[in-house]
Amino acid sequence: ALLLAGLALAGASRAALRPSRIAAHRARARLLAVDSGERACTAVPIDFLQLAAEYNERHASDVVSIALQRSAIDFTQQELTAVKIASLDETGLLLEEVVCDLASDTCIALTVPVAFARRCESEEALRAELAEMALLRDDAPQPAALVSQT
């Protein structure tokens, strides 16, 4: 009888603990939801236009390097005379290039999409991806002449 009374008491205390444990889990879940919501609200949005303008103005050599490595143009026969980032987002960028044929002295304007290796969710990640892309590889094409940025 004592054993049965103890089991009944233990069962009652477990039942009494369950709602408080559930309430604790719910409270913790609410805190996590609020915390992640606040983090999402306080995250600094990326100004893609300003970042593209900065790279076009202050990091033009990086833009040229990216163009030389990512373009399908044969730069032994063609000259990259102008390049700039036309648009930029977390998945890649769009380059505007002016390429001139060395033999015929004719030029064409191209838009070249360049995808990032991974999605960039922050400005720091974007800058790191652009810096990595700008590193000249040993097998990168060598331009016929240095380009003038627009």
pLDDT at 140: 54
pTM: 0.62
* Cβ–Cβ under 8 Å, residues 56 and 63: yes
The SS3 call for residue 146 is coil
Q: Looking at the DSSP assignment, which residues form a beta bridge with residue 111? A: 96
Whether the CB-CB separation of 92 and 104 falls below 8 Å is answered with no
What element of type H or E holds 88?
Answer: strand 78-89
Please give the pLDDT value at position 71: 81
Give the pLDDT score at 20: 54
| Tens of pLDDT, residue by residue, the chain (150 residues) | 444 444 444 444 444 444 555 555 455 544 444 444 444 444 578 899 999 999 999 999 999 999 988 887 888 888 999 999 999 999 999 999 999 998 888 999 999 999 999 999 999 999 999 999 998 665 555 554 445 444
Query: Residue 102's pLDDT is what?
Result: 85
Provide the pLDDT for residue 111: 94
